[in-house]
Amino acid sequence: MIEIYYIEDDVNIAQVVKEYLEQKNFIVSVFSTIADAKAALRNHIPGIVLVDWNMPDGQGDTLCRWMRSNWKELLIIFLTVRDDTRDIVSGFQNGADDYVVKPFELEVLYSRILALLRRSGNISERYLSCGGISLDQGRMMVFLDEEEINLSKAEYQLLLLLMINKGKTITRERLLEQIWDNNGNYVNNNTLTVTMKRLREKLHQPSCLKTIRSFGYRMEDAV
């Protein structure tokens, strides 16, 4: 099932849209502020984001620009009031893929979502996020908040394996096997320890990267 993040401060509108889209087999999370939406996006990337233009803590174009700077392929639809051409132009300039004019028919919004997904697929599978760390599998790039982090091949593969399995503990044996042994490089446990140490240093000691003593490692979102 494809996830949708809906940034909307009107509780009534948000509930109606959420219920409708969930009937269409989407998973919908609603955020009433831009700050809450940013916090959620730092930990997980949905398939598509719906952005209301006027929010209590900022404008939708600012959020669009921030999302686009971090996740270039993320699908974004912004919702704006009727005939507000300036909002429409600003939305596209700041990275939105489409727009829907308020008030809108739910069927119209649904059709726009389907059209974007048909063209682009489920973009969320390309991006992995946890605790402010974002990994773009398509470009093989890693970001901490908005800062690009340069990793070695082994460091990148280690982070990728842990983020793909977020929430699960991965044993040291499995990490050694999949990152080094599968490539014909037979190394000892100390190589993994050193690589993990360097990865942690480059990511500024992230709290979401856990050591499971005498067993392995796990990536997990903050509670």
Q: What pLDDT digit, counting tens, does each position of 171-198 carry?
A: 999 999 888 876 656 667 888 999 999 9
Instruction: Render the burial of 128-138: b for 16+ CB within 10 Å, e for the rest.
Output: bbbbbbbbbee
**Alpha helices by DSSP H, 94-152:** 106-120
Handedness of CA 21, 26, 27, 32 (dihedral sign): negative
Q: What is the pLDDT of residue 126?
A: 81
Q: Where is the domain boundary, 125, 158, 191?
A: 125
CATH of the domain at 171: 1.10.10.10
The residue out of 92, 125, 158 marking a domain boundary is 125
Residues 173, 198 within the same domain? yes
The answer to whether residues 149 and 79 belong to one domain is: no
Q: Residues with Cβ < 8 Å from 53, sequence gap 6 or more?
A: 59, 60, 61, 78, 79, 80, 81, 84, 87, 91
Helices (H) and strands (E) counted in the chain, each on its own, are: 8, 14
Based on the fold, state whether residues 72 and 167 are members of the same structural domain: no
Range of the domain at 69: 3-125
| CA dist 84 → 2, 87, 91, 196, 197 (Å) | 30, 6, 11, 51, 52
pLDDT class of 110 with cuts at 50, 70, 90: very high
Count CB atoms within 10 A of the CB of residue 187. Answer: 14
Same domain membership, residue 117 and residue 143: no
List, in sequence order, every beta strand (DSSP E) within 87-206. Answer: 98-102, 127-130, 133-136, 141-144, 147-149, 170-171
- Judge if 27 and 56 occupy the same domain: yes
**pTM of the prediction?**
0.73
pLDDT at residue 18 is higher than 90:
yes
- Indicate whether 111 and 16 sit together in one domain: yes
Residue 22 has pLDDT above 80, yes or no: yes
Integer Cα distance of 114 and 111 in angstroms: 5
For the chain, what is the domain count? Answer: 2
The reply to whether 98 and 145 lie within a common domain is no
Q: Which candidate, 61, 53, 51, 59, places its Cα nearest to that of 31?
A: 51
Please give the Cα distance from 68 to 66 (Å, whole number): 6
pLDDT at residue 84, as a whole number: 60
Mean per-residue pLDDT, 199-208 = 95
Q: Are residues 47 and 143 in the same domain?
A: no
User: Are 212 and 117 within one domain?
Assistant: no
Helix (H) or strand (E) holding 89: helix 85-93
Both 41 and 84 in a single domain? Answer: yes
> In terms of domains, do 17 and 97 share one?
yes
> What pairing do the DSSP bridges indicate for beta strands 3-7 and 27-31?
parallel
- Domain boundary residue, one of 94, 125, 156: 125
Q: Which residues contact 60 (CB under 8 A, 6 or more apart)?
A: 7, 51, 52, 53, 54, 78, 79, 80, 87, 91
pLDDT of residue 186: 62
- CATH number for 55: 3.40.50.2300
Q: Are residues 138 and 121 in the same domain?
A: no
Q: Would you say residue 159 has pLDDT above 70?
A: yes
